[in-house]
A = this chain, B = another copy of it.
């Protein structure tokens, strides 16, 4: 398994991948995890298994996915980073690479995660952002969305806001931050009016961020009242929540770890 534990911070454009998770042998090329494993194995010339902190869906992006792998190869972190980036396809980049204690585990050690969801507002969606935002024609009612977001904060059973099917699975999670911010993105060749949704929590259920984003959007479109959030949470039934917003607007932005584990040993 190796005597070194290497932590990665990754950015990737999910539009070309079937998601984070390694697939069956015949599909290997198309998951972020399998491309990383093949590439790093080749660079270090030893077999590498990469553990990610979260399984992003098909089409979902990352600007700060955390991952780790064990290895033997004695190369300094900066050299290893450069060699891996050199070999990776252009749509996956290692942003940071550091050596961490052997017991660091990118999923089990994670204390919190932050996701970002991007809506683009406008009759004519940007041709350059179509894989990177969810385009909606009209500006939603942002104060109503904020009111609904407040009701989602804190510790709740989020079963209604997930695609989780297992009855015996613990669906209680804690949301620490849920910000809705209108932004104007300049410089991407055309001014783009967007809404940025930032959500931080101690863990997220399957599809939870996308269903929260979709439900908040529908509150902003007055398909629901903000107060309906409490009723939806209490019902614990997926069919009572709003749509699952499409993957292209979603980014895994940051994974945070307890300070003592995050300490770099080299």
Contact = CB atoms under 8 A, between A and B. Distances in A.
Contact of A128 (B61, B94, B187): B61
A124 B92 contact: no
A74 interface: no
Interface residues of A, number: 32
Contacts of A183: 187
A188 B189 contact: no
A251 interface: yes
Task: Work out how many copies of this chain go into the complex.
Answer: 2
Nearest to A63: B189
Interface string A177-190: 00000011111111
A184 B186 CA distance: 9
A234 interface: no
A91 interface: yes
Given A93-B125, A95-B124, A125-B90, A190 B130 contact: no
A13 B188 contact: no
Nearest 4 CB-CB pairings of A with B = A185-B187, A13-B127, A90-B130, A63-B189
Interface of A: 11-13, 61, 63, 85, 90-95, 116, 118, 124-128, 130, 132, 183-190, 194, 196, 251
